């Protein structure tokens, strides 16, 4: 719950609810603005941690397999990892669209930015697979799309569109993606064609 103090009313707070934000009080200082004191952040739901583990596991598994396996298995894992990365971008896009729809229902005035975010990363990933021959550029475009999606998620938390705990679980998924991208760059075949 967000609690704010109107200037000039001592130290009492009045509630102004915005989902996903920590509680705050603004001490009165006459007619001047006070300093906000952030309260405790809502704990991350257990289901969110389970979803995070499920989302990160294929990235870690395909990347780890490239270090451990040889031959045809490595090619299989490489293509599987790329396909999963594209599917993940689509899932993140659906998540962003859901946040935008929920925020609109709660009365948030949505900038056009939030209606474009759900689709751009997935389109970038599809363009990477369809438009590039060099695996280096495929991975770099995937990585750029994931980082752009991560930045959009952090902005969603700051603006109250997403709950505060979402920042924590999103960082773990991004860490898995960075490990995946680095491994795939090291073990990249020469080109998609050969």
Q: Are residues 92 and 166 located together in one domain of the fold?
A: yes
Q: Are residues 132 and 91 located together in one domain of the fold?
A: yes
What is the model's pLDDT at position 6?
41
Q: Are residues 181 and 92 located together in one domain of the fold?
A: yes
Residue 23 scores a pLDDT above 90: no
Q: Are residues 142 and 164 located together in one domain of the fold?
A: yes
Residue 98 scores a pLDDT above 60: yes
Angle between helices 46-68 and 72-105 (to 10 degrees): 160
21-32 burial: b if 16+ Cβ within 10 Å, else e = bebbbbebeeee
Residue 7 scores a pLDDT above 60: no
**Confidence tier at 114 by pLDDT (50, 70, 90):** low
- Domain range enclosing 167: 46-186
Residue 68 scores a pLDDT above 50: yes
Distance of CA 8 to the CA centre of its chain: 39
Q: Are residues 69 and 103 located together in one domain of the fold?
A: yes
State the average pLDDT over residues 164-180: 94
Give the highest mean pLDDT range of 31-40, 41-50, 51-60, 126-135. Answer: 51-60
**Confidence tier at 42 by pLDDT (50, 70, 90):** low
As for how many domains the chain has, the answer is 2
In a domain, 55, yes or no: yes
In a domain, 192, yes or no: no
**Confidence tier at 175 by pLDDT (50, 70, 90):** very high
In a domain, 23, yes or no: yes
State the average pLDDT over residues 109-136: 74
In a domain, 194, yes or no: no
* pTM exceeds cut of 0.85: no
In a domain, 193, yes or no: no
Concatenate the DSSP letters of all residues of the chain into one string.
Answer: --EE--TTSTT--EE---TTPPPEE---BTTB----EE-PPPPPPHHHHHHHHHHHHHHHHHHHHHHH--THHHHHHHHHHHHHHHHHHHHHHHHHHHHHHHHHHTT----THHHHTTTHHHHHHHHHHHH-SSHHHHHHHHHHHHHHHHHHHHHHHHTTSS-TTHHHHHHHHHHHHHHHHHHHHHT--S-S--
What is the model's pLDDT at position 54?
94
For the chain, the average pLDDT equals 76
């Amino acid at each position: 719950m967000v609690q704010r103090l109107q200037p000039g009313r001592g130290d009492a707070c009045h509630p102004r609810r915005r989902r996903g934000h920590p509680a705050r009080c603004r001490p009165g200082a006459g007619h001047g603005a006070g300093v906000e004191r952030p309260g405790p952040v809502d704990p991350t739901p257990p289901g969110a941690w389970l979803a995070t583990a499920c989302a990160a596991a294929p990235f870690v598994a395909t990347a780890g397999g490239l270090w451990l396996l040889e031959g045809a298995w490595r090619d299989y894992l490489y293509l599987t990892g790329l396909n999963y990365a594209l599917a993940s971008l689509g899932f993140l896009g659906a998540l962003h669209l859901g946040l935008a729809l929920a925020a609109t229902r709660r009365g948030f005035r949505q900038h056009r930015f939030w209606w474009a975010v759900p689709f751009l990363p997935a389109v970038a990933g599809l363009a990477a697979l369809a438009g590039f021959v060099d695996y280096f550029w495929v991975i770099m475009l995937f990585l750029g799309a994931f980082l752009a999606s991560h930045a959009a998620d952090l902005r969603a938390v700051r603006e109250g569109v997403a709950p505060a705990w979402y920042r924590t679980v999103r960082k773990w998924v991004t860490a898995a993606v960075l490990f995946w991208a680095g491994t795939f760059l090291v073990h990249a075949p020469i080109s998609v064609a050969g």
